[in-house]
Amino acid sequence: MSNEPGVDDYPLGPPTRWPAADIAAAWRRELPGLEADSTGSIEVITPLWRVAKVLADDRRRTLAALGVDSSTLDLLGVIRRSGPPYELTTREITRRTLITAGAVSQRIARAEQAGLVERAPSSASRRAVAVRLTDAGHTLIEATVRQLLVHEAQLISHLGAPERATLSALLTKLEASLADLGS
């Protein structure tokens, strides 16, 4: 047991008790000779990881309160964003959601059982299957997204418009540079 306040509860203690700069400094001390750029990544990756965890947990709780799971939100959202007539082929859904065809098929089956989507022959191709929102699916996705967007806007409300634009641009740049890691 350490006499230093907060040490014994790391990493479960509040993130503000363990600033990323302190973690990087500790590793530079413990691993002499390590290039500063290596430990400098801690000051970017650690806060991003922490923010991602908090946001993912919050989104799970928020969606649960709204009565929707994230995979249904993703499916209904991609179809709704496609515009009228609010239908896409299964191939297009797979391309836009970046998940496997099998996972898309499972999501569609669950949403179809819940009365949120329906399948029909596609007008684009005789072999393709179109998935379209039902009235219930349309109502659910619009209500859910409206509430989710208002909630998530509140989460970033302490950032001014210029800060949000800068952060968005930097995250877009970082995401693009990491695109190959997801494949």
Interval 36-82: pLDDT, tens = 678 888 889 999 999 999 999 999 999 999 999 999 999 999 999 99
pLDDT value of position 183 = 58
Residues 97, 55 share a domain: no
pLDDT value of position 149 = 96
CATH of the domain at 131: 1.10.10.10
* 54 half-sphere exposure, CB direction, 13 A CA radius: 12
Kindly state the average pLDDT of the residues 110-135: 90
Residues 94, 62 share a domain: no
pTM of the model: 0.77
Kindly state the average pLDDT of the residues 122-135: 85
Residues 99, 43 share a domain: no
Residues 141, 75 share a domain: yes
Does residue 14 form part of some domain? Answer: yes
* 107 half-sphere exposure, CB direction, 13 A CA radius: 23
Residues 47, 4 share a domain: yes
Residues 138, 118 share a domain: yes
Whole-number mean pLDDT of the chain? 87
Q: Given a cut of 70, is residue 6 above it in pLDDT?
A: no
How many domains does one find in the chain?
Answer: 2
pLDDT band at residue 182, thresholds of 50, 70 and 90?
A: low
pLDDT value of position 159 = 96
Residues 136, 74 share a domain: yes
Kindly state the average pLDDT of the residues 157-171: 96
Does residue 160 form part of some domain? Answer: no
pLDDT value of position 86 = 93
Q: How far apart are CA 114 and CA 78, in angstroms?
A: 17
Task: Name the residue range of residue 106's domain.
Answer: 70-145
Q: Given a cut of 50, is residue 1 above it in pLDDT?
A: no
Q: Given a cut of 50, is residue 152 above it in pLDDT?
A: yes
Residues 140, 83 share a domain: yes
Q: How far apart are CA 86 and CA 79, in angstroms?
A: 6
Q: How far apart are CA 90 and CA 87, in angstroms?
A: 9
